[in-house]
């Protein structure tokens, strides 16, 4: 099979996506750390737990939806437990798994951080584009996600 090399324009767009992805994550992380002492990973975990029934998720499910390895998530949850943001509880339904549970302190930290984080997302991404461009970007990225995670689409 012959390699289908990227054209000059495709290469430019690909590199722009790579660079913007890294720079956006760095900007969001920097803003969260500066204003609330949270990493982007911690914020994402707090959000996911806040949206879950009873503000808790099985660790394996949380790893899946945050795209983290179980090991990485376990270490992250250990650090967040030390900060009082979450607790780990044995799953009563099967006693094999564990739940990550959002604490009141974790909830309050999320409530405090959310307005500034949303403003950061607007400043660094949403407001950089027109509403039409942002909608197109969302539609295009949804196609990529559907291709890479067909069960999630």
pLDDT by residue (tens digit) across 57-111? 999 999 999 999 999 999 999 999 999 999 999 988 777 789 999 999 999 999 9
Residue 115 lies in a domain: yes
Residue 32 lies in a domain: yes
Torsion of CA 88, 90, 94, 100, to 10 degrees: -10
Q: In what order do the strands lie in the sheet with 86-90?
A: 56-58, 98-102, 86-90
The pLDDT tens digits of the residues spanning 34-44 come to 999 999 999 99
Residue 74 lies in a domain: yes
Residue 44 lies in a domain: yes
pTM, to two decimals: 0.90
- Is the per-residue pLDDT at 5 higher than 70? yes
Give the CATH number of the domain where residue 88 resides. Answer: 1.10.10.10
Minimal CA–CA distance to 149: which of 69, 64, 52? 64
List of residues 6+ apart from 97 with CB closer than 8 A: 58, 59, 60, 90, 91
- Is the per-residue pLDDT at 113 higher than 50? yes
| CA–CA separation, 89 and 8 (whole Å) | 52
The pLDDT assigned to 149 comes to 87
Enclosing domain of residue 102: 10-148
The pLDDT assigned to 153 comes to 47
The pLDDT assigned to 91 comes to 86
Residue 153 lies in a domain: no
The pLDDT assigned to 60 comes to 93
The pLDDT tens digits of the residues spanning 115-141 come to 999 999 999 999 999 999 999 999 999
Residue 125 lies in a domain: yes
Residue 4 lies in a domain: no
Could you give the C-alpha distances from 42 to 45, 86, 108, 114, in angstroms and in order?
5, 10, 13, 12
Number of domains in the chain: 1
The pLDDT assigned to 93 comes to 77
The pLDDT assigned to 152 comes to 59
Mean pLDDT within 9-35: 97
């Amino acid at each position: 099979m012959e390699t289908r090399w990227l054209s000059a324009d495709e290469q430019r767009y690909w590199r722009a996506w790579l660079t913007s992805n890294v720079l956006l994550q760095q900007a969001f992380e920097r803003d969260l750390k500066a204003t609330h002492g949270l990493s982007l990973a911690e914020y994402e975990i707090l959000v996911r737990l806040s949206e879950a029934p009873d503000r808790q998720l099985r660790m394996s499910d949380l790893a899946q939806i945050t795209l983290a390895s179980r090991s990485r998530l376990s270490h992250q949850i250990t650090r967040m437990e030390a900060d009082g943001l979450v607790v780990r509880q044995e799953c009563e339904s099967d006693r094999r798994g564990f739940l990550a549970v959002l604490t009141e302190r974790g909830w309050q930290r999320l409530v405090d951080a959310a307005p500034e984080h949303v403003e950061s997302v607007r400043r660094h991404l949403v407001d950089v584009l027109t509403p039409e461009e942002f909608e197109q970007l969302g539609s295009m990225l949804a196609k990529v996600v559907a291709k890479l995670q067909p069960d999630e689409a």
